[in-house]
Structure 1
Amino acid sequence: MMCSTTIRCSTLVLCFIVSFGTTMGLYETAPHIIVFMADDLGWDDVGFHGSDQIPTPNIDALGYNGIILNRHYVLPSSTPSRTAFFTGQYPIRMGMQGEGIQGGEPRGIPLNVRILPEYLRSLGYMTKLIGKWHVGYYTPQHTPLHRGFDSFLGFYNSHVTYYDYKYSFQNMSGYDMHRGDAPAYGSTDKYVTDLFTDEAIRIIQYHEPSRPLYLQISHLAVHAPLESPHDYGHYDRQFMHIREINRRKYARMVSRLDNSVGRIVQALGSRGMLKDSLILFLTDNGAASIGKFRNYGSNYPLRGMKYTLYEGGVRGAAVLWSPRLRKTARVCDDLMHVTDWLPTLYSIAGGDVRDLGEIDGVDQWCMLNGSLPSARDRLLLNIDEISKTEGAIYKQFKLLRGSIEGGYYDGYYRDIERLMPHDHKKSIQEDMPLYTDTVLKSAVSQSITRHLGDPVTQPSTMIQLRREATVNCRPRDNFITCNVTECLFDINNDPCETKNIAEQYSRISRELDKFLEHYGRNVKRQIKISVDWLADPRRTNNTWEPWLISGENMLNNSAAQLASLTYCVHIGIILVTVTCNGFI
């Protein structure tokens, strides 16, 4: 590589040393990697983005003492986002770009695609998954223990109820909580956020610290249904200022999620593992403010919500913390995509990213470590040939086409509390000393001080970081839609996506058109298969389980799959027909 300046060359050398410090001996061990993946968490539902309603002191403390990723992009719904995270590839390459997998739907990440835990296990990591899977389970080979995880406690489908762990779809309903390959009967009656937190703490307590650990806690929180903890006396007192009852339930759920982060960080500190840890917190997509699976989360002032390619759907809350970061207590406005985590974490773990083959994610460790700018200046948001929506970003410019359900989800969904007179106690915004004191007293802040001996970021810096991470713009009641013509937005100057500048910046529009056209030629179309009634939980002790021995050859998204495929299974006198229209 040719360097334009001596400084540039020196920076690259420094980046190389930092990136490969694990293998070069700068650190005694590869880091423990802890990933918290929240579900349907809103942009405006964390304190570090300026929320003055729901305190999240532990999550905020990770951001203020680490890095707040202010331009971290995900996919608009669960299955595509998790597919991108695990594979480092855009979901369009596997036909996984559309709606989330439904119960009884025989599809998943193709078995010939290696995923993150498989790569980390090859580097000597113990790999543990707790919580949500949602990337396919129709055969045993598609379940976590067969995809690189050493242990699993969680659920296969998109969500479960918070206390009895049941998932229902159409007229099928059943228990969905598994430990390893077996149903985890007897675990009911514990609030699921606490169940997952307790499991993570148990893993940490019994883990040998000298061996690197990959622990992913994919919380159900704060996905619908709205079920807050039964011991909500304290939470009711804390959230009495929230008048809307469903929003108050949601606040309790967020607070218990934040508590989970604090408890797990404390456990890492108690085991002497915190000093060698890297902790990532992110959401899979924006909040479901209205409509199906509504959770009353808020993405305000960003436009849109889950399911959309507007900022409220795909610009996800994310923070990164580690003692190995050279430059912390900062807001990062560099472009980053959820596909980048596979190469970035693999690189941090001491792997050679060339092992990963051709992927869409890029290694961002040098940027995160403060050595270089982002390794990307563009990204594909998504191409969904069924909903006819697509979008891409180049630097500060974002091009969108299409809309789902006639634009129903495309507006600005401000929390109802913003429309009410505030005659209650002071908000966080009005009482910043109280807010920063809460962050300083959080389990995360105290663990950093107690177990690392490091001072935590001070209140004045917290306030400045919070200000930098808060989006300030004025949404409009009358907004343009992108379902008739394409829209180009300047996200830096118009993060609320109010003004279509496609005509003024026609050259940029053409470049992004070409970018989308390029990826459009590589789209593997989604295989839309009717729900297989063989998956009915009533056939397996009222429990959701894999129901096919093998189906990869039939369901593989291959270029040769151009015709409809129909297969028939006889069960007694019942003929079950499943039609698949898989074509490319």
Structure 2
Amino acid sequence: MKIRVTGAFLFNVLCTISYTCCGETVGKRPPHIVMIIADDMGSNDLSYRGLDQITTANLDAMGFNGIIFNRHYTEPICTPSRAALLTGQYPIRLGLQGEPISAGEDRHLPPDVQTLPQLLKELGYTTHLVGKWHLGTARREDIPKGRGFDTHYGYWNGYIGYFDYETKSAMTITSEVYEGFDMKENFVDAWKDKGIYATHIFTEKALDIIDAQNKDIPMFLMVGHLAVHTGKNGMVEVADEKTMNNTYGYIADLERRRYVDALMNLDDSVGRIVEKLQQRDLLQNSVVIFMSDNGAQIRGIFHNGGSNYPLRGEKFSHHDGGIKNAALLYSPLLEKKNYIHDHLIHITDWLPTLYSLAGGNITSLKKTDGVDQWLSISQNKPSKRKNILINIDEVKLYSGVIGYGGRYKLLNGTIQSGFYDSFTGEPQSSNKMDYDIAAILNSRVNKAIKKSKVPGKHLDEALIRNLRKSSSAIRNNSKCNRGTEKYEICHHFCLFDLWTDPCETENLIRQKSKDDIVLNLKNQLAEFWNEVSPQTNKPVDINSDPAKYNGTWCTWLDDEFCIKIKTNNQNKNCNENNRSTSSIPVLKL
């Protein structure tokens, strides 16, 4: 007779005995997992990296108390990154390696692919998503509650206005623009919250989830912030213009000033979430992760004022400015803390790492490109990962791979003739700000960690300065001092030594001494090319038009669940009534 082992049964077992992950006992019960994701944040935009415009006190404190990832790689754009994160697979397996999903496009995660929240639910976790989804919206089975999340408060598409929660999409053929409201509480449109700054409402919803969490049941909470992506109107919106100008007026560039203000609201959000975990006595058995989904976009339609300095490239690029992004982790479960993790890690690694840490058996996973990295993370041991497929776009014909433990990168081709592959300088201010160590010591994150009374070394000025110096060392690399540096666009093959030339200034492809390395990496790339699933891109569906559905984006292929509008007058009255429920007025920018 077969005995069916349910997630609830396994959880009860785990609650009564110590469990083992990778041969090491890590706790009496599975840890709470909180993952916070910034959108389009530059690798240079946190002050621990040497930026002297601001002090991101909470995020710096999180990294200094835990670990700072120095070689954390993502995908170059949002949909592929989020797909890789939640499935543990390279986007080429899913047909999602191309352009991000457009609002009104019938494209989504393949239904037979396991997601991280689905796997954690089987282990007894509650699973929650706050904020961005961007992995399919046409049917109810495509959206977060259909893919493993118990609850979702946020938006389904790629971006929204910070106050009006609207997004738009253009028809490919007619260039007609569809616009609609896109803030949901599970399946219900959150009209009542319209006018509240997006970062603030997402933070409050995350705090509510933590407040309601049963301490004895493990929680997976993913917070996908809108910040610091541009809003619907093409710029980063701020909570209050006057406050922004009074606080950051020393930054002359208005776009950069807006970006910094939004980033500091994001930093405060992280502080409040960690603080709430401590107040609920959850922090001492939690893993808190922060990352950006890709690099900042410096040019192009969604340019936001971010900075990837001194790295080359930006969002969309296969150069490190687009894919080697800021990432931090804090957990009392770490055996080694207060260090810079300099080993290779990819965004696909989080699924097997967290699943294993939660008590799952990674050999049971159907398919994964990820590697269980917990021993490398917790003990600062070498990574099991030796190479990374950056991405393959078989339509636009560009691809890239990193091999030799993260040392050598091979690129073949580029996008838009290298438009996104340039260098950008350090953001300028009228005066440089002193690094505010007192702000870090007094941050919500640092105070919460101290109050949790977890054994380990507490931060002091010397430790902070030492860690910051180590994490910003790339700025001192002689090849990163570009000035009038000329660089080669990789229209064909390029080879870079990322250890000696982290800013990718010198193409080594013609050096005979590197022929064996090039051949090896070409062979690796060729193997991945043979495994590509064709892109599933489709035009925006005319039937998705929000004008048909109360002015909202809906699961239009499950039309029977959508609220419909019969007349223009009815639509106008409905929207006016909905707007009147907002307790905070929309800020006009």
Give me the TM-score of the superposition, normalised by structure 1: 0.87
DSSP-derived class of the 2:205 partner = helix
How many angstroms apart in 1 are the aligned matches of 2:522 and 2:71?
A: 22
Correspondent of 1:468 among 448, 467, 470 = 470
Structure 2 Cα separation of the partners of residues 163 and 210 of structure 1? 36
* Cα pair distance change 1:353/1:198, threshold 3 Å: same
Match of 2:410 among 396, 399, 405: 399
**Alignment equivalent of 1:197, drawn from 203, 217, 221:** 203
Assess if the C-alpha contact under 8 Å between 1:343 and 1:361 holds in 2. Answer: yes
- Does the aligned pair in 2 maintain the 1:40–1:284 contact within 8 Å? yes
Summarize deviations over 1:431-468 as a string: whole Å, max 9, x none. x4xx2111111100011112226552222121111121
From the superposition, tell whether residues 18 and 56 of structure 1 become closer, same or farther in structure 2 (CA, over 3 Å).
Answer: farther
Q: Tell whether the 8 Å contact from 1:400 to 1:482 is kept in structure 2 after alignment.
A: no
Determine the structure 2 residue equivalent to 1:110.
110
1:436 has 2:437 as partner: yes
Give a deviation string over 1:528-571, Cα, whole Å, max 9, x none.
32211101101111100111149xxxxxxxxxxxxxxxxxxxxx
Cα distance in 2 for partners of 1:157, 1:166 equals 10
Q: In the alignment, does 2:424 pair up with 1:413?
A: yes
CA shift for structure 1 position 484: 2.8
Which residue number corresponds to residue 582 of structure 1? none
**Which residue number corresponds to residue 579 of structure 2?**
none
Asked if residue 305 in structure 1 is aligned to residue 306 in structure 2, the reply is: no
Compute the displacement of 1:152 (Å). 0.2
2:79: which partner in 1?
79
Cα deviation 1:163-210 (Å, max 9, x = unaligned): 010001221000000111221221111100000000000111111111
SS of 1:82's equivalent in the other structure is helix
Q: Which whole-Å deviations, capped at 9, do the CAs of 1:113-153 have from their partners, x for residues lacking one? A: 01000000000000000000001111111011111000000
CA contact (8 A) 2:259 2:305 kept: yes
SS of equivalent residue, structure 1 residue 59: helix
User: Partners in 2 of 1:155 and 1:298 — Cα distance?
Assistant: 26
2: distance between equivalents of 1:122 and 1:411?
Answer: 45
Does the 8 Å contact 2:101/2:135 carry over to 1?
yes
Q: Which residue matches 2:298?
A: 289
1:26-74: per-residue Cα shift (whole Å, max 9, x none)? 5222100000010000011001111111321101111001110010000
1:548 aligns with 2:549: no
Q: 2:265 aligns with which of 228, 233, 256?
A: 256
Name 2:453's counterpart in structure 1: 452
Single out whichever of 127-136 and 447-456 deviates more from structure 2: 447-456
The 5 A counterparts of 1:20-419 are: 20-21=20-21, 27-170=27-170, 171-225=177-231, 226-370=235-379, 372-394=381-403, 395=405, 396-417=407-428
Task: Report deviation, 1:23.
Answer: 10
User: Is 1:21–1:27's contact at 8 Å kept on the other side of the alignment?
Assistant: no
| Letter in structure 2 aligned against 1:194 | H
Q: Distance in 2 between matches of 1:530 and 1:479?
A: 39
CA distance in 2, matches of 1:21, 1:521: 34
Residue 408 of structure 1 and its aligned partner are, at CA, apart by 1.2
Give, as a single letter, the amino acid of the residue that structure 2 aligns with 1:76: P
Q: Which moved more, 1:365-374 or 1:140-149?
A: 365-374
Contact 1:43–1:312 under 8 Å retained in 2: yes
Residues 291 and 267 from structure 1, CA distance in 2 versus in 1: closer, same or farther, beyond 3 angstroms?
A: same
What is aligned with 1:571?
none
User: Is the 1:22–1:30 Cα contact (8 Å) retained in structure 2?
Assistant: no
Query: What percent of counterpart residues are identical?
Result: 39
Deviation at 1:481, TM superposition (A): 3.2
Using the alignment, how far apart are the partners of 1:442 and 1:399 within structure 2? 41
Counterpart AA for 1:179: E
**Counterpart residue identity of residue 300, structure 1:** Y
Match of 2:508 among 501, 506, 509: 501
User: Which residue of structure 2 aligns with residue 487 of structure 1?
Assistant: 494
Residues 384 and 186 of structure 1: CA distance in aligned 2, closer, same or farther (over 3 Å): same
TM-score by length of 2: 0.86
**SS of residue matched to 1:548:** helix
**Alpha carbons 1:22, 1:350 under 8 Å: kept:** no
Letter of the 2:498 partner, please give it.
I
User: For residues 393 and 110 of structure 2, what CA distance do their matches in structure 1 show?
Assistant: 18
Question: In the TM superposition, what is the alpha-carbon distance from 1:365 to its structure 2 partner?
Answer: 0.4
Q: Contact 1:67/1:329 (CA < 8 Å) preserved in 2?
A: yes
Partners of 1:445 and 1:55 in 2: CA distance: 14
Sort the Cα spacing of 1:18 and 1:70 in 2 relative to 1 into closer, same or farther, 3 A: farther
The one-letter amino acid of 1:32's match is H
Counterpart of 2:47, as a letter, is: G
Cα 1:382–1:24 change in 2 (3 A) is closer
Q: Which amino acid aligns with 1:405?
A: Q
Q: CA deviation at 1:312?
A: 0.4
Q: In the alignment, which residue of structure 2 is the partner of 1:580?
A: none
Inter-partner Cα distance in structure 1 for 2:84 and 2:351: 9
Number of aligned positions between the proteins:
524
CA–CA distance in structure 2, aligned partners of residues 234 and 106 of structure 1 = 41
Segments of structure 1 that go 5 or more residues without pairing to the other structure are 1-16, 551-584
Letter in 2 for 1:466: R
Secondary structure of residue in 2 paired with 1:130: strand
Whether the aligned pair in 2 keeps the contact of 1:19 and 1:366 (CA below 8 Å) is no
* Alpha-carbon distance between aligned partners in 2 of 1:236 and 1:298, rounded to the nearest angstrom: 20
CA displacement 1:66-109 (0-9 Å, x = unmatched): 11001000000000000000000000011100110001111111
Classify 1:25/1:520 alpha carbon distance in 2 versus 1 (closer, same or farther; 3 Å).
Answer: closer
Aligned partners of 1:117 and 1:127 also within 8 Å: yes
**Which blocks of at least 5 consecutive residues in structure 2 are unaligned?**
1-16, 171-176, 560-589
The alpha-carbon distance between structure 1 residues 232 and 440, as it changes in their structure 2 partners (threshold 3 A), is: farther
Give the C-alpha shift of residue 257 in structure 1.
0.2
Q: Distance in 1 between matches of 2:414 and 2:339?
A: 35
Q: Helix, strand or coil: the match of 2:35? A: strand
Secondary structure at 2:192 match in 1 = coil
| Aligned equivalent of 1:7 | none
2:524 paired with 1:527: no
Q: State the 1:19 CA deviation.
A: 8.6
Q: Secondary structure at the match of 1:20?
A: strand
Change over 3 Å in CA distance of 1:24–1:413 after alignment to 2? closer
Structure 1 CA distance for aligned equivalents of residues 21 and 400 of structure 2: 37
- The CA RMSD measured in Å over matched residues stands at 1.9
Distance 1:203 1:333 in 2: 34
Q: 2:418 corresponds to which letter in structure 1?
A: G
Residue 516 of structure 2: SS of its match in structure 1?
helix
SS at match of 1:153: strand
